[in-house]
Amino acid sequence: MYDPIKDPIPPADQTLPNSYWASDASNKRSPLNYRQLQGHEQSDVVIIGAGYTGLSCALELSQKYNVSCTVVEANQPGWGCSGRNGGFVLPGTGRLSVQQMTKRWNKKTSQNIYAEYLRSIATVKGFIADGIECDDTAGGYLKLAHKPSLVSSLHDQARALSDDYGDSIIALTKADIAAEYLSGTPAYGGIYYPNAIGINPWLFCQGLAKRVEQAGASIFGASPVISCERKQSKHIVRTELGSIEAKTLIVATNAYGQRRLHPVLTDRTFPVVSSIIVTEPLNQEQLMRISMKAGLMVMDTRALKYYYRVLPDNRLLFGGRGAVYGKDADNKKYLNALKQGLFATFPQLSDIDISHFWSGWVSVSLDDSPRIFHDKSENMLYSAGYCGAGLAFSIQAGKRLAQLLVEPNTLPDLPYWKTPLQRFPLAALRRPALRAFYAWEGIKNTITKQNR
């Protein structure tokens, strides 16, 4: 698999992500294929990356602000994380709870950030209501405590979100979960987010790309960026067969931009592999064994968490950690590790076959918080650092990037656009440290199992 830290540029010959979402099993629709950039183009704004953030930004600039913009993509829209994630449309991004955000900033700021999370979900639902097809399901999201000691803190969080943050979160006991949500796996308690939905993330990205094209913006595919340079007041973005000259550069690659893509972003995020398996369709007996509420999405509270959902065609999607290095992402040991996690969660499905296995990169920031930032000295903007929790937020982030460029004084008072991403110190040690972290979590899990 392409490795943004090791490889000089992304490949240009992979039209589709190798996920279930873009496969014949999920889609009978023809993918969009945008022509390769050839020759020299000019634009007010050039956007690198045709995922959720880049496309949402291009749409906002074109429709709302009448700004000429061009999107350049290494492969085709949705090839990166936008076509590989689990399709969970949830309130949140980064890795900070509302309690941690309150401690870092203050309660008012924490409330403002959560309000942005809710607006993010509303943005996605607005696109769906306006006709973007994405096989959406309204089953809500269940966060499970993976040990009894965590139940009370989850319930405290549910009360805080309902009382002070404008959401309607339901605290659930073990009996509640078994009766109404999920009885096929042990649960000590949890909280339920009824506003969350599931989608086919690649299909949503295809619909977003169509809207961008209809709005008059240009999209070029199969055109990985070789270099970005600044000449006087202009940015020159070069690909193998062409170049784009623009006044403003926006980088919307998140975890997929190569390490040396632009000096402003070098070593300011850490690309980490997440992997997913999808089973063959479950029959009615197997569905009864796991007894999961229709459309429900589930995640636990482990440091290396599992997440899962039953898809519209009755397949079970199950995700978790992947390899440390891109070259190892397709190694069967990571497939087998996810299968073991699946069978440990649902022992009654030990007879099920796996039909799809894939991996993708998520972008971790040093302080667990994303940024939507305008470097005015370079007239360059970026949005990155979603920490694997960015489906809804990344779409909202594209709108905010456009707003940050054209009318920044109208932005809500959030910390995301006030400071740049922090550079990782000792960046070369990120992956050895990750390997050590995975090993330590494995030891802790083994000890926990032995003590049960």
pTM: 0.95
| Domain-located, residue 211 | yes
pLDDT given for residue 413 in this prediction: 96
Question: Residue 24: pLDDT band by 50, 70, 90 thresholds?
Answer: confident
Dihedral sign for Cα 87, 206, 82, 315, please.
positive
80: domain CATH number? 3.50.50.60
Distance CA 24, CA 26 (A): 5
DSSP code, position 150: G
Asked if residue 397 has pLDDT above 80, the reply is yes
| Domain-located, residue 319 | no
| Domain-located, residue 402 | yes
Question: Residue 26: pLDDT band by 50, 70, 90 thresholds?
Answer: confident
Question: Residue 132: pLDDT band by 50, 70, 90 thresholds?
Answer: very high
Looking at the 3D structure of the chain, how many domains does it have?
Answer: 1
| Domain-located, residue 114 | yes
Q: Report percent pLDDT > 90 for the chain.
A: 91
Between 248 and 304, the more confident residue is 248
Q: 298 by DSSP, 3-state: which?
A: strand
Residue range 217-222: average pLDDT?
98
| Domain-located, residue 215 | yes
Helices (H), 16-150: 52-63, 98-104, 107-129
The residues facing 248 across adjacent strands are 45
Strands 69-72 and 218-220: parallel
Q: Which of 42-51, 126-135, 297-306, 412-421 has the least mean pLDDT?
A: 297-306
Burial zone of 233 (CB within 10 Å; 0-12 exposed, 13-18 middle, 19+ buried): exposed
pLDDT given for residue 91 in this prediction: 97
Residue range 86-111: average pLDDT?
97
Q: 193 by DSSP, 3-state: which?
A: strand
| Domain-located, residue 208 | yes
pLDDT given for residue 32 in this prediction: 78
| Domain-located, residue 313 | no
| Domain-located, residue 66 | yes
Residue the block writes with tokens 């050039």? 46
Question: Residue 304: pLDDT band by 50, 70, 90 thresholds?
Answer: confident
Structural tokens at position 449: 């199992």
Distance CA 374, CA 409 (A): 13
How do residues 160-191 score in pLDDT, each as one tens digit?
999 999 999 999 999 999 999 999 998 999 99
Domain extent, residue 227, equals: 20-136+196-268+367-428
How do residues 41-52 score in pLDDT, each as one tens digit?
999 999 999 999
Taking phi first (over 0 means left), then psi (-120 to 50 degrees means alpha), and beta for anything else, what does residue 397 get? alpha
Per residue, what are the HEC states of 400-451? HHHHHHHCHHHCCCCHHHCCCCCCCCCHHHHHHHHHHHHHHHHHHHHHHHHC
Neighbours of 30 (CB within 10 A): 7
